[in-house]
Structures are given as C-alpha cells and as structure tokens.
Structure 1
Amino acid sequence: MVILGAGESGAGAAVLAKAKGFDVFVSDLSSIKPKYKEMLDAHSIRWEEGQHTEADILNADEVIKSPGIPDKAPVIRKLKEQGTHIISEIEFAGRYTESKMICITGSNGKTTTTMLTYHILKQAGIDVGLAGNVGNSLALQVAESPHAVYVIELSSFQLDNMYDFKADIAILLNITPDHLDRYNYEMQNYVDAKLRILQNQTEEDVFIFWNDDPIIAREIAKRNPKATLYPFAETNEKGVKGYTDNKQVKIETSNGTFTMEQDLLALTGTHNLYNSLASGIAAKVVDIHDEKIRASLSDFAGVEHRLEKVARIRGVDYINDSKATNVNSCWYALQSMTTKVVLILGGTDKGNDYSEIEELVKQKARALLFLGVDNNKLHAFFDGKVEKIEDARSMEEAVTKAYKLAEKGDTVLLSPCCASFDLFKSYEDRGDQFKACVRNL
C-alpha cells in the first residue's frame, strides 16, 4: 500500500494500513511535519519526503492519495495509465468500521454544520468522532480510538476517490462554483463529485439537503435517490422537513417534531439558519432528545475563521472570514452585514465569477482592498464600480489601509473569495495574520 501525502489523512491511513498487515510506503513531494514523521517512525513505516520514488510508487497494489494532490500530477497520471486503484483515506478507513457515518458536504457551510452536528451529539453523550477536513484522521481513529458514530466533513476532492464507502446520513448544503480549476473548468464535473455523497445509499439511509438549491433539485430529479429525503428551507414549502414558521424553528422526522424559538439559535444569518436546520435534522434522525438539541443549537460557539468577530477599534468592527475561499461564501458574508464595509478580497483565483457579489459590493462596500500577488482579474471586474480601491501585498499593509479607509460604524471584513496560497500557508494562516494585525492596531 502506497500513501501519497503525509499530512493528517496520509499519516492516519498509513497507521491503519500497517495495523491491517499491509506493506506500507509513504511518499510526500513536500516536507513532512515533525509530528507525522514521529507517528510514522513509531509504527516502523517507511517514508520519504521532497521526492516521489516512482519505482516504489508504481509497484503499489493500491494507492491512497491525499485530497490535495490533483489528478494532473505526473505520478497520478502514471498510476492511472497502468490501472492502479487510487482511493481516499476515508474510503480506506470505511472498509474497517461498521460505525454510523454522518457525512457533510457542500460548497459553503460544511465546516460549521459538521462542527455543530458533532457538538450536538457530543453534548448528548454519544460516542462520536470528528473527521474529514476537520478533527483527526478517520483512519487513525478507526485504528486506535474507534467511535460508534463519526461526523465527517467531505470535500469534493475526498469524494472523488470514494467508491464503496456509504453515508448513513448524507447532508448536502448547497452547490455553487468552486475549485473549478481542479475540474477542467466544467461545473458539471464538480457537481458530480459532490453528488458522490449519495452513492451506495439505501432506503434505510437519510439524505438531508437544501430544498431551494436549483442544482441539487435538478440532480435529485435526474438521480432519484433511494434514501429517505429530508429537505430544509427558510419557509414551510411543500414537503420540507426543516423550516421556520412564525419565528419558530420546526423539524419533522419519523422520531417526532422538534421546535425552538429562532431567536435562541446561537448562529445568526440566513446561511447559518440552513446550517442549524441541517444539523438539527441529523440530530433528530439519530433520536437525540429535544432539550439536548435545543441547548446545543443555542450555545454553539461557531467556527474559527468563519465570520469571526476579532475586535472593535474606534467604532469599527473587524471580522475574520478567511474561510471564505469562494465567491458564494463571500456573498453570504456580505448579505449578513448591516453596516458599510471595507472588504478585503484576493488570493489564488480558482476560476471565480465575481458577478455574484457585484450588487452587494455596490450596495455595501465603502472600499475594496485587493490582497494578492496578482490582482488583475479583480481590477478588471471591480474598477469603476466602487469609489475607493487599493492594493496590498501583505496582511499588515491591508489592515493598515483598511484602518485608514473605514469610518466609525463600519465593518472591516476579510472575506477573500480566493484560496490563500499566493501569500499564505493556508486560510488559517491568513486569518491568524489578520487577527494579529488587527490586535496590533
């Protein structure tokens, strides 16, 4: 078994593979973090960094690929040409557990929904693990600290290499353009990846989804899922199982009806209502007691780097939404703003169409700050549409300029629409730098 990439998922997969008796080799083209080297060494697993030794890799019976490695990478192309089976860490871990799987995907909101669902189950005393894009590697948990239930955040990249894995409860929040650079700029390729969350589901399984997403509606009509459907929406439309009515949240399942006052939800904004409805439906389907669901929906602290309030300085609020790595995510952030905004945008463009936020930017933006190595596409779209537009080449420069541009009562919003890899290690690094610069003002 060859494992490509030695981050959280790769190292975890290596430990599980070793425990199951495989001859394991781990290869990472980048450098491996010390903690993962220690983990591999502790289990006597052979590894290399800074290179891919093709003689060893192409000899594999099966390959587990990190979701960050694109299919166009030379070593992946060679493996595919010779017919080697390539899977994800989640697919591999699924072979060795009978635990209940609650799987969450979508272009936006999946981390918040995953964390909220986990929070509800954990507070209710369920033996639950957190995995996928958040938490610890599913494979590592299956190998060393198994749980009865797993709540798993799944990206399209992870779903791409999943075949036999099955979600007992699948949640699909929304589908908007994202990562199109990885899908030959073909939206349907990305859509097909997201819908893989339904594969292998039976009549005994559950599919929770946003009822008003036109792409999801089209795909459901096309695919006719076998699972029991639990659509949710803002209002009580025909057939929806989660909605609001007269300032009450209502969720209807075979385990009864759950209600609570909408004002008591910890998360605010329309997008967070959807996240709360999805999590609430999943919890009610699992048969968590109503008072436990109610308590958790009202005390959830939120997710770092997602509309995270940093500080109020001289009457200006600073909000870190670094996790907004696509346009639709920024749209939600802008929609929730009730003040004028100094908006910080930019980074590595993934095939973005900025027309989705054009009207909100015109309505709400006092100024735009473009934070990136190459801001040409942003200038081409926004120049002339907002009075003040400036460039920044570092977070410190961006925050300093935002401080000067903002007026009392405004909000400075970091909601970049883009990946972070031009100037930062990750969206977390970008958000952490923003918070540090704001606190230094």
Structure 2
Amino acid sequence: MDSQKNIVVLGAGESGVGAAILAQSKGFPVFVSDKGQITSNYCKILKEYNIPFEEGKHSEELILNASEVIKSPGIPDTAPLIKKLNDLNIPVISEIEFAGRYSNAKMICITGSNGKTTTTLLLYHMLKKAGIHVGLAGNVGHSLARQVAENDFSHFVVELSSFQLDGMKQFKADIAILMNITPDHLDRYDYKMKNYIDSKFRIIQNQTENDAFIFCQDDEIITKELEQISVQVQKHPFSIYECLPKGASLKNDELIIKNENINLNMKQNELSLKGKHNTYNSMAAGIAGSILGIRNEVIRESLSDFKGVEHRLEKLSNVNGVDFINDSKATNINSTWYALESMDDETVWIVGGVDKGNDYNELMDLVKEKVKAIVCLGIDNSKIHQAFDGVIETIVDTNSMQDAVKTAFEIANGEATVLLSPACASFDLFKSYEDRGQQFKEEVLKL
C-alpha cells in the first residue's frame, strides 16, 4: 500500500465523513473540503478523528494536489472543480467505490427509481432475522465506508442511488437488484433518458456468472435494455403478470418464489406491505433471501412482519373522519402514481416542490378517478396548474406545511383522505423529504 497517496474528500455529509474515516484507518493522509457549512455533528466526528477539514470553500491548491478524490454523490460531474480534476487526470471516485476496496463482505445492492429504500430495509430485516451479521449502508443507514472501517460484517445490504452508481468503477455487487426505471433526476443526465438508464445498469457492471441479478420483468425499460446488452450474470426476474420458471411470480393471489435453492408459496394477503408496488418489493427481497440460502420460514416471517418505511405511504392518525397519509418520500411522478393507485377513498392530494422534469399527464387518469381536490405546496406551482386546471375543480396554492394541512383538512370535510405525495423534491421549502414529512406529521397532530 502506498501510504503517501494523498486523498481529498469533497463533501462532509454521511458519505464524505465515512470515506475520510476509512482513508485514515488505512494510513492515508486525508483532507475533507465542503463548499457549504458542515453540520455540528459531522464537525465533531472529524475533530474526534483528528481529520483536517475546511468548510465554506474549496481550496484548489490543496484539492488539485490530490492523488485521488472521493466526492459526495450530490456533487455533479459537471461541477467546475470536478472538470479541473478530470483535466489533470486525478481519479475521482465515489465513497462506495472506495469502501469496496477494503471489504470482503458479500454485497447485496439495490437500486431503482422507486421502491429501493423499502426493499433495502425489508431485506436487511430478513437477514437480521436469519442471524446473519449484516450492515445497512449506502443511501440509507450509515455510510458503507465508515462501517467497513469500524465493523466486520459478513454481509452488507446497500441502497444505491444513480448518483452513487455514477462514481463506481471496480466495485461489484454479489447480488444486484434493479426495481424499476422511470424518468427521474433527468436534470442531472442532460435530460437524456438513455444516460439515466445507463447509470442504473451500472449496478451489474463487473458481475460474473457466479453473481445474481434480480430485476422486474414487468418494467419495459429494463427488459428492452437487457435485450440489447450481453450479461453473464445469473438472472432472477420477478413479475405480477407472468408465471416465470425462475424468480418470483403471482398466481391466484399467491406469491411464488423459485430457484435452485427454494420453492416458496405465500398468500399475497399475508404480506405486511400492501399495494402492487409493495408486492414487487416483497418479491425482490424474497428472491435475494432465497439466493442467500435463508430458510423458507424466515423469508415468510420477514415478509409478513416487516413494519414499513417512514415517509412512504405512512398512515398517520384519523382526525374527525379524515385519514392522513404521509408519502413525503414520493419525489417523482412514478412514486406518486403508486400512491394514488393504492388509494381506496376520495383523496385530497397535497403536491408540489422542486419539479424534476415531471410529466403530470402520466397521473391524469388516476387523478380524475381518485382526487377530490389538489393542494399545491411549493414556491412555483405553475406546472401543476397547467396540468390540472379545468380537470379538478378545487386547486389551492399554499406555501407552508401549516397552510397545506389546514386547507386539505377543511376540504376533506370528514369524508376524504388527505395524501401528501409531492412528486417533487423538497428543497424549495424544506431541508429534505424527511423534514417535509416530519412537518406534515407535526401539523396533523395540531389539528
């Protein structure tokens, strides 16, 4: 090992701080630079580890002298500093790529435009129940790099966003799961869908015939892409429409999982997670568990007693006959499509935020069928009005969660369900989708 290799970490969030800790543990000189302000929690951690850092700026004389740069997934490749590093042929990698160099653990990696967090947490729940020494990492849980530095897990369940996949070169998933691909983050991919598809398919790069690829057979984008590329990996598809000889299927309201290790049947109504999208999530997790050799009883128990994910179709209280559902994690059209599709009652829909190139026409049929009124929650609601003015009689603009919840409650009038499913990013009015969901909960409690 070249201990003189000089590593710079760009970004001091969970990913960056974890990468810095791992770099230091391997004997590398490391420096952390964040253009924004570092939160007090991460400042404290960096100081505890005696890792030098800066905030509020990028000192190029230090950064451009690096042997290798580990960048936060939030920093785009088009950023001027990244372009300078590329021009100087200084390698720029992701925290996931760096962590993978120092772990022999089995990596089960999950991506997709929607459903990846639920599937990741469900699979983690399953592995823990099976007694496997497993870590939860990536886009959920703690950074993979820090856990590699501080723990000796035999397995990791890793949720990967397209941004994290973009910085991976040699990293390999032992089991790769691709839930679906729908338009998302296109502003990051030159508004070219093919670029986004290529990013998602990086999850199977470097896989061999000894590895597994679990994917949704019902997703046309995935199946078309697989027809055009050559892969050596073992394929495990899942479908709610086709009976498959291998993978997971749905037949007569029964979930069927088949592969070399297992033949498992389970009634769909025994699944703890309801709705079509959650059947997909359960299928993917069940297949992964079977590949890992987890016993049928444990897979079945895990799929039936998992509690779900906060901010994802999370049922809150009933206030004077009005149910409130927190789906703040729905930051794109496809997530909101699934939310609306799962609604049984007339719905007052709270929508809006930072638009990522949304085409609201994809929701039109569901909105006509299920939505009583729309409450817009954002600084710029013009695209929502363009789509639904004249379609939905009542459309109200609000610019705070307090106003949105009060307005929706009044419109519901004891007869409808209020659904927060924004279909947009949160950064115009909130710190994150978690902050948005938490404020929703707090305002509902005040009613």
- TM-score using structure 2 length: 0.97
Please state whether the residue corresponding to 1:208 is helix, strand or coil.
Answer: strand
Equivalent residue for 1:365, pick from 371, 390, 396:
371
Give the count of matched residue pairs. Answer: 441
Match of 2:439 in 1: 433
Counterpart amino acid of residue 5 in structure 1:
G
- Once the 2 structures are TM-superposed, how far is the Cα of residue 82 of structure 1 from its aligned partner? 1.9
Q: Is the 8 A contact 1:231 1:239 kept in 2?
A: no
Equivalent residue for 2:298, pick from 250, 272, 292:
292
Equivalent residue for 1:178, pick from 184, 190, 204:
184
Q: Following superposition of structure 1 onto structure 2, how do residues 82-101 of structure 1 map, counting pairs within 5 Å?
A: 82-101=88-107
Q: How far, CA to CA, are the matches of 1:238 and 1:16 in structure 2?
A: 43
Q: Following superposition of structure 1 onto structure 2, how do residues 406-417 of structure 1 map, counting pairs within 5 Å?
A: 406-417=412-423
Equivalent residue for 1:218, pick from 194, 213, 224:
224
Q: How far, CA to CA, are the matches of 2:59 and 2:276 in structure 1?
A: 49
Equivalent residue for 2:276, pick from 259, 270, 288:
270
- Once the 2 structures are TM-superposed, how far is the Cα of residue 13 of structure 1 from its aligned partner? 0.3
Give the RMSD, CA atoms, in angstroms. 0.9
Equivalent residue for 1:344, pick from 339, 346, 350:
350
Please state whether the residue corresponding to 1:244 is helix, strand or coil.
Answer: strand
Match of 1:391 in 2: 397
- Once the 2 structures are TM-superposed, how far is the Cα of residue 72 of structure 1 from its aligned partner? 2.3
- Once the 2 structures are TM-superposed, how far is the Cα of residue 142 of structure 1 from its aligned partner? 0.5
Please state whether the residue corresponding to 2:119 is helix, strand or coil.
Answer: helix
- Once the 2 structures are TM-superposed, how far is the Cα of residue 224 of structure 1 from its aligned partner? 2.4
Match of 1:69 in 2: 75
Range with greater deviation from structure 2 (49-58 or 406-415):
406-415
Counterpart amino acid of residue 125 in structure 1:
G
Q: Following superposition of structure 1 onto structure 2, how do residues 41-440 of structure 1 map, counting pairs within 5 Å?
A: 41-440=47-446
Range with greater deviation from structure 2 (64-73 or 414-423):
64-73
- Once the 2 structures are TM-superposed, how far is the Cα of residue 77 of structure 1 from its aligned partner? 2.0
Please state whether the residue corresponding to 2:128 is helix, strand or coil.
Answer: helix
Please state whether the residue corresponding to 1:348 is helix, strand or coil.
Answer: coil
Q: Is the 8 A contact 1:367 1:387 kept in 2?
A: yes
1:133-159 Cα deviation digits (max 9, x unpaired): 111111001001120000000000000
- Percent identity for Structure 1 against Structure 2: 59
1:11-54 Cα deviation digits (max 9, x unpaired): 00000001111110100111112221122112211100111111
Counterpart amino acid of residue 289 in structure 2:
A
Q: How far, CA to CA, are the matches of 2:230 and 2:263 in structure 1?
A: 26
Q: Is the 8 A contact 1:100 1:148 kept in 2?
A: yes
Counterpart amino acid of residue 145 in structure 1:
N
Please state whether the residue corresponding to 2:324 is helix, strand or coil.
Answer: strand
Please state whether the residue corresponding to 2:249 is helix, strand or coil.
Answer: strand
Q: Is the 8 A contact 1:211 1:240 kept in 2?
A: no
Counterpart amino acid of residue 194 in structure 1:
K
Q: How far, CA to CA, are the matches of 1:185 and 1:321 in structure 2?
A: 26
Q: How far, CA to CA, are the matches of 1:189 and 1:407 in structure 2?
A: 45
Counterpart amino acid of residue 138 in structure 2:
G
Unmatched 5+ stretches in structure 2: 1-6
1:298-340 Cα deviation digits (max 9, x unpaired): 1100000000011111111100000000000000000000111
Please state whether the residue corresponding to 1:249 is helix, strand or coil.
Answer: strand
Counterpart amino acid of residue 217 in structure 1:
T
Range with greater deviation from structure 2 (231-240 or 292-301):
231-240
Moved over 6 A (4+): none
- Once the 2 structures are TM-superposed, how far is the Cα of residue 239 of structure 1 from its aligned partner? 4.2
Range with greater deviation from structure 2 (72-81 or 115-124):
72-81
1:265-317 Cα deviation digits (max 9, x unpaired): 00000000000000000001101111111111111000000000111111111
Unmatched 5+ stretches in structure 1: none
Match of 2:3 in 1: none
Match of 1:38 in 2: 44
Please state whether the residue corresponding to 2:426 is helix, strand or coil.
Answer: coil
Counterpart amino acid of residue 63 in structure 2:
I
Range with greater deviation from structure 2 (313-322 or 69-78):
69-78
Q: How far, CA to CA, are the matches of 1:408 and 1:288 in structure 2?
A: 46
- TM-score using structure 1 length: 0.99
- Once the 2 structures are TM-superposed, how far is the Cα of residue 240 of structure 1 from its aligned partner? 4.8
Q: Is the 8 A contact 2:243 2:250 kept in 1?
A: no
- Once the 2 structures are TM-superposed, how far is the Cα of residue 412 of structure 1 from its aligned partner? 0.3
Please state whether the residue corresponding to 2:69 is helix, strand or coil.
Answer: strand
Counterpart amino acid of residue 88 in structure 1:
S
Please state whether the residue corresponding to 1:126 is helix, strand or coil.
Answer: coil
Q: How far, CA to CA, are the matches of 2:311 and 2:71 in structure 1?
A: 27
Q: How far, CA to CA, are the matches of 2:311 and 2:83 in structure 1?
A: 35
Q: Is the 8 A contact 1:310 1:320 kept in 2?
A: yes
Counterpart amino acid of residue 299 in structure 2:
I
